[in-house]
Structure 1
């Protein structure tokens, strides 16, 4: 990728997290991290050359968002839902508050940092 990192290197305006499908949540108590796996049909403005042509080679983008230095983790409900709202706000110096909520579940925590990892493309079948 270019000097810009994560989704900023791929998009002029990255998709809103609430518009992306959440397909995975991983909580690692040893590393005090939380990882969200997202999928979006909003294709990048600046795709990597090795991905090939959109449409034939891919029609969806997958990425993970890893939060590190997690504290005050609260989880309610475990049912997967398509509809969700994601809020990431700055709080105390060097920390962000993360809240994801759907109709029957919510995950909230404070994190020291975050980064986008494992960006890849794939073909998703028609619904």
Structure 2
């Protein structure tokens, strides 16, 4: 099966390790076989190792070393951030961050709701099992 995601100028990637973990970036230049120059409108341009990047399916049309205003315009035209957040990958990350931000009381409420749902399912299941005999 051939690759669909290539390291290229304009490829949107997700940082998967370090203090910037979970941030979307755009590859603006490839430095060597291990590192890329990445940028995003609200972030500082910096060098990131490829091992810390997870390539997404999204690509914006920019030139090499594009200025911030061109990058911002290309991202707005392609609507990359909204597309990523609507994808299953983005939704999974949102669920993980929401779960990490839960308080003790939120976890308690979730456990009570889960137990209540399990009781209701078990009750219906047992009644169906009893009627099938």
- TM-score of the superposition, structure 1-length normalised? 0.27
Question: Considering only CA atoms, is the larger Rg found in Structure 1 or Structure 2?
Answer: 2
Greater RCO between the two (CA within 8 Å, min separation 6)?
1
Determine which structure has the larger helix proportion and give its number.
2
Instruction: Normalising by structure 2, report the TM-score.
Output: 0.26
